[in-house]
Amino acid sequence: MKGLTKDLAAKLDEHDPLQSFKTEFYLPKNTYYMDGNSLGLLSKRAEQALLTSLQDWKQLGINGWTDGKEPWFYMSEKLGAMTAPLLGAKSEEVINTGSITTNIHQLLATFYQPSGKKTKILADELNFPSDIYALKSQLELHGYDPEEHLVQVESLDGRTLSEDTIINAMTEEVALILLPSVLYRSGQLLDMPAITKAAHERGIMVGFDLAHSIGALPHQLHDWGIDFAVWCTYKYLNSGPGGVGGLFVHEKHLGRKPGLAGWFSSNKNKQFDMDHSLTQAESAGAFQIGTPHILSSAPLIGSLEMFQEAGIERIREKSLQQTRYLIHFVKEELSEFGFTIANPEDDNRRGGHVSLIHEEAASICKALKAQQIIPDFRAPNVIRLAPIALYTSYSDLYQVMMILKEIVQSGEYKQFKNERDTIA
């Protein structure tokens, strides 16, 4: 991709089969939005789906649970079925519920069953902090010291993980593994099939946090045999702030008693028998806990309709081309200004965002915001840029990178303090 000119960007846009989806989103005026891997933008369809549920509430009251245009009682299952194709899963293996952290607690309460020598949980040192908080909490609930029983695979470069190192850490003492599919700092995509195969050969349960991969790339969770997975929906899936998350449980585990049973763990035909003995759902719905958060789930109906139309394979193809575009631009135009590319450059090893390392990263991010570009900063020195296939054009990327070049070339960023704001 030589000669990264404005004309080339326009030509790429002209031949982009997904370009029409950009008009479906509310784009901040005069702004280049590059933070969709933290919070996706609102679409007109997501807005309408939320308004539909509000209208059902307004007109029907409690009857909205069964008689609404989108009946609330079945919404979580509908969303699970709509999400399943993005995951290579069967509809009964997926449910829209909870948050990443609550779903981790649920699935660890279900699948972490220490016995004999197998008492340890294997994770990594680069994972998002809240996942580690949950793992430590679960170990403590079982009476184990996290310092001894949580094994965190080390990174050799502070950015990426080696699958060989992960597999070598799968000792006979490990009962369960939880890893990210894509590392949030570097955008590295782990080899989930290889890790799962190795874990199962050693009798270890394995799950993945898909926060930075769902909606950006295809998965084959069922065929890979992954035991469980969790994700949020407010990043690439564009469900809105605090949008309800989701979980996957492989069909071989369906029928297993949920570790944290609750009102919506029930078989829907039995739920209102009001029996004090739970008859659990035969699907992943059994791993729900409380009443679905309808107004935080409804927008996903509209958003997922667009994923059905666009197709996750085409989304992945554009995502890879756009991240490749950014990486090449950095190499050709910014190499002299102290930037390091944290991502693996192999397409098969890269998620949906580009991570740039710079010692003045916080200052540069503030300077970008002053120029109406919304990046993402991760302490201490990472600038994340996420082109979103449904609403980011190549012309957007060209403008972003030219402005970034001007900021560092002129030294404009030096007027800002190199420290994060309260929320980074």
Q: How many degrees, rounded to 5, is the angle at CA 239 between CA 288 and CA 316?
A: 105
Q: What is the mean pLDDT of the segment spanning 370-387?
A: 95
Tell me whether residue 101 is annotated as binding.
Answer: yes
Tell me whether residue 130 is annotated as binding.
Answer: yes
Q: Single out the residue in 264, 292, 308 at which a domain terminates.
A: 308
Domain match, 328 and 213 both = no
Domain match, 346 and 368 both = yes
Domain match, 146 and 213 both = yes
pLDDT for res 369: 96
Domain match, 331 and 295 both = no
Q: Is residue 187 part of a domain?
A: yes
Domain match, 133 and 203 both = yes
Q: Single out the residue in 288, 308, 328 at which a domain terminates.
A: 308
Confidence category of residue 420, pLDDT binned at 50, 70, 90: confident
pLDDT for res 424: 66
Q: Is residue 424 part of a domain?
A: no
Task: Give 383's Cβ-side CA count (13 Å radius).
Answer: 30
Asked whether residue 394 carries a pLDDT value surpassing 60, the answer given is yes
Tell me whether residue 128 is annotated as binding.
Answer: yes
Q: Is residue 296 part of a domain?
A: yes
pLDDT for res 421: 81
Which phi and psi angles does 354 have, rounded to 5°? Answer: -110, 135
Q: What is the mean pLDDT of the segment spanning 85-94?
A: 98
Q: Single out the residue in 279, 308, 337 at which a domain terminates.
A: 308
Bigger pLDDT: 424 or 200? 200
Helix-helix angle 75-87:299-310, to 10 degrees: 30
Domain match, 26 and 169 both = no
Confidence category of residue 2, pLDDT binned at 50, 70, 90: low
Asked whether residue 19 carries a pLDDT value surpassing 90, the answer given is yes
Confidence category of residue 5, pLDDT binned at 50, 70, 90: confident
How long a stretch of residues is the chain? 424
Q: How many domains does the chain have?
A: 2
Q: What is the mean pLDDT of the segment spanning 189-194?
A: 98
pLDDT for res 423: 64
**Inter-residue contact 289 to 244 (CB < 8 Å):** no
Asked whether residue 4 carries a pLDDT value surpassing 80, the answer given is no
Percent of the chain whose predicted confidence (pLDDT) is above 90: 96
Asked whether residue 325 carries a pLDDT value surpassing 90, the answer given is yes
Domain match, 262 and 318 both = no
Q: What is the pLDDT of residues 397-417, one digit of tens each?
A: 999 999 999 999 999 999 998
Q: What is the distance between the alpha carbons of residues 122 and 108, in angstroms, rounded to a whole number?
A: 12
Mean pLDDT of the chain, nearest integer: 96
pLDDT for res 306: 98
Tell me whether residue 131 is annotated as binding.
Answer: yes
At 335, which CATH number? Answer: 3.90.1150.10
Q: What is the pLDDT of residues 31-54, one digit of tens each?
A: 999 999 999 999 999 999 999 999
Across the beta sheet with 174-180, what order do the strands follow?
94-96, 246-249, 228-231, 205-209, 174-180, 120-124, 150-153
Domain match, 246 and 330 both = no
Q: Which residues pair with 316 in a beta bridge?
A: none
Tell me whether residue 344 is annotated as binding.
Answer: no
Q: What is the pLDDT of residues 221-253, one digit of tens each?
A: 999 999 999 999 999 999 999 999 999 999 999
Tell me whether residue 129 is annotated as binding.
Answer: yes
Confidence category of residue 208, pLDDT binned at 50, 70, 90: very high
pLDDT for res 335: 86
Percent of the chain whose predicted confidence (pLDDT) is above 70: 99
Q: What is the distance between the alpha carbons of residues 103 and 262, in angstroms, rounded to a whole number?
A: 13
Pull the structure tokens for residue 22. Answer: 């950009």
Domain match, 272 and 339 both = no
Tell me whether residue 212 is annotated as binding.
Answer: yes
Across the beta sheet with 382-385, what order do the strands follow?
340-341, 354-357, 382-385, 376-378
Domain match, 194 and 247 both = yes
Q: Is residue 265 part of a domain?
A: yes
Domain match, 220 and 265 both = yes
Q: What is the distance between the alpha carbons of residues 123 and 163, in angstroms, rounded to a whole number?
A: 12
Q: What is the pLDDT of residues 52-73, one digit of tens each?
A: 999 999 999 999 999 999 999 9
Q: Is residue 420 part of a domain?
A: no
Tell me whether residue 291 is annotated as binding.
Answer: yes
Q: Is residue 390 part of a domain?
A: yes
The continuous run of DSSP H or E covering 357 comes out as strand 354-357
Domain match, 37 and 59 both = no
At 83, which CATH number? Answer: 3.40.640.10
Domain residues for 346?
6-42+311-413
